[in-house]
A and B are shown apart, each in its own frame.
Chain A
Amino acid sequence: MHWYRPHNDSWLIFIACEPVEALTPAATQVFSISCEGVVLPIVGCLAKFPSEEWIKLFMEEVNTNKNYEEAARTWEGDFLFVIDADAELKEPSTFYVDLWHGKCRGVALVKPGESKKAAFIYSGPYSNWKKLINKQIDPIQGLLTGKFKLQGDMVKVLRAVRAAKELVETAGKVPTEFA
């Protein structure tokens, strides 16, 4: 049983025959809907963070987020999001995210050894990324307290702080399974 979100406000639901218990709890998220008195469980497949699948879903979410579009309509600048290895993540990972005038023009999972440049590098250990996505850390407070590091024009980021918040809000909307 899977769900998939093809467009902004519509959900395509696949209802499977196998019992919910057959699916790995860690890889699923169980909801229920009521349809004419019958309660149906819905199981969503979660994208693993960090992964190429996750960053693509993130891009989809960014491009359907009107609040982000408005907040970042003058933003020009691409990012490398660096997820540093820590006790919970053995291999570091890097996302390339191209943000331009309220839209995300492209994303990529940067392969190990591959060199990719961007105007901004936002980096931090995996456990802090988890907290960020779960909204347990504010993105700017995260910078001020050293939980994350930023390379690039900090003042430009502070001027676009609402866009930064919206970006984090968007990350929280991606159905995420942490490693």
Chain B
Amino acid sequence: MWWFTSPKIVFGEDALEQLKTVEAKRVLVITDPVVTKLGMLELVLKELKHVTPDVDVFDQVEPEPSFENVDKVAEAVRRFRPDLIVALGGGSCIDAAKAAWILYERPDLKLEAVSPLTKLDLRKKARFLAIPTTAGTGSDATWVVVLTDRAQNIKVDYIASRELTPDFSILDPRFILKLPREATAYTGLDAITQGIEAYVNQWQNDFSDGLALKSIQLLFEYLPKAFDNPDDLLARQKTQNAATMSGLAFGNAQVGLAHAMGHSLGAIFHMPHGLSVALSNLYVIPFSSRGAAERYRDIAHTIGIEEASPERATARLVEALKDLMTRLNMPTSLRDAGISKTAFEQNIDDLVEKTNRSTCTFVNPRVPDVDEIRKLFVCTYEARQVDF
């Protein structure tokens, strides 16, 4: 037995117009300074005028938000007492807003104590609406919050509850038209990795499978187009839809070892999330394929690789991913990503430890031991073939 959860999703050109149909008396928009500067906040506020005059804005969410930053967001929420929270931004904004939502509804709880078994009783005070401005994390469709613990220098990935699934997600391609090319690549690669890891995961299911495969197919087709021509509205729309679909896929299954390694790399080297997970995945796939080669072959078939042998199809899938990353001007090894050998060797124990403790590792199709995790990091650093 398992569940499938999803927000009500409005998508396509002019999707934002649906915002005026949402009922609310007091609305707080949670966003970041970049989104504000790019004029996206203005578009949202214009629609919200039709909903209520009581609208406030908090626009100080940090990238990769910390617990301390979430406390500030929560204070703003408590002060304004909204009955609708609008999270406008990338995964960082949406995750920070979700975490602040918990603290607003349940001041008796500490975030660190929230787990999927905690009954939160959300929605007594406010509902939650997400408007993503990137096409990658899928946070607008998931029930997970990823925060940074600055003291321990780790990404905390266990704060989760099905109640955290947003009530609404509005996917309007206008919001990602201004996404820079580099960020387009990072977030798109994140979405592809989510789709792949959801499809091969131990917790995969029929519902997540369909969404995962379709999201991968769309991203292979439209991500290069959106990268080459940022004004291509159709390509933007397709990558945006695909990102949310991959969020639904992994939100209802799980992500795996590439995300565990990517979170560790992000915490230590502050690499962009999409790059760290996509890069790790190039080396995780050959490792994980011992036990899931047929699943990887399905993915290869989805992107047009006609290969009957699961092993050869998997190898060609890795080549296709490398080609895509190269096409998007992305490195395909940690060394090429600019991490020095000294820094890598100084931190490898910590990388291994963090990966070994991640909740993503244990649902990977093949669960590595610590020696294997170490070898995977070495391969990822040196672009070495994974043969174990």
Contacts and interface: CB of A to CB of B under 8 A. Distances in A.
A127 interface: no
A48 interface: no
Given A144-B117, A154-B118, A162 B367 contact: yes
A84 B116 CA distance: 23
A158 B356 contact: no
A108 B1 CA distance: 32
Contacts of A158: 115, 158, 359
Contacts of A154: 115-118
A141 interface: yes
Contact of A162 (B114, B158, B362): B362
Contacts, number: 44
Given A67-B369, A70-B370, A161-B362, A144 B158 contact: no
Contact of B115 (A155, A162, A165): A155
- Name, among B114, B362, B367, the residue most crowded by chain A CB atoms within 10 Å (CB to CB): B362
B203 interface: yes
A58 to B, nearest CB: 20
B151 interface: no
A104 interface: no
A143 B117 contact: yes
Interface string B123-162: 0000000000000000000000000000000000010000
A162 B361 contact: yes
A24 to B, nearest CB: 34
Interface string A141-179: 101110100100011001111100100000000000000
Interface of B: 1-3, 112-118, 158, 202-203, 356-357, 359, 361-363, 367, 369-370
- Kindly list the 9 A-B residue pairs having the minimum CB-CB distance in the complex, ordered from nearest: A154-B115, A158-B158, A162-B362, A154-B117, A165-B362, A161-B362, A155-B115, A145-B1, A161-B359
Given A143-B116, A147-B1, 13 more contacts: A70-B370, A71-B356, A138-B202, A138-B203, A140-B362, A144-B116, A144-B117, A154-B115, A155-B114, A155-B115, A159-B357, A159-B359, A162-B367
12 contacts: A70-B369, A138-B202, A141-B2, A143-B117, A144-B116, A145-B1, A150-B117, A155-B113, A155-B114, A158-B115, A162-B361, A162-B362
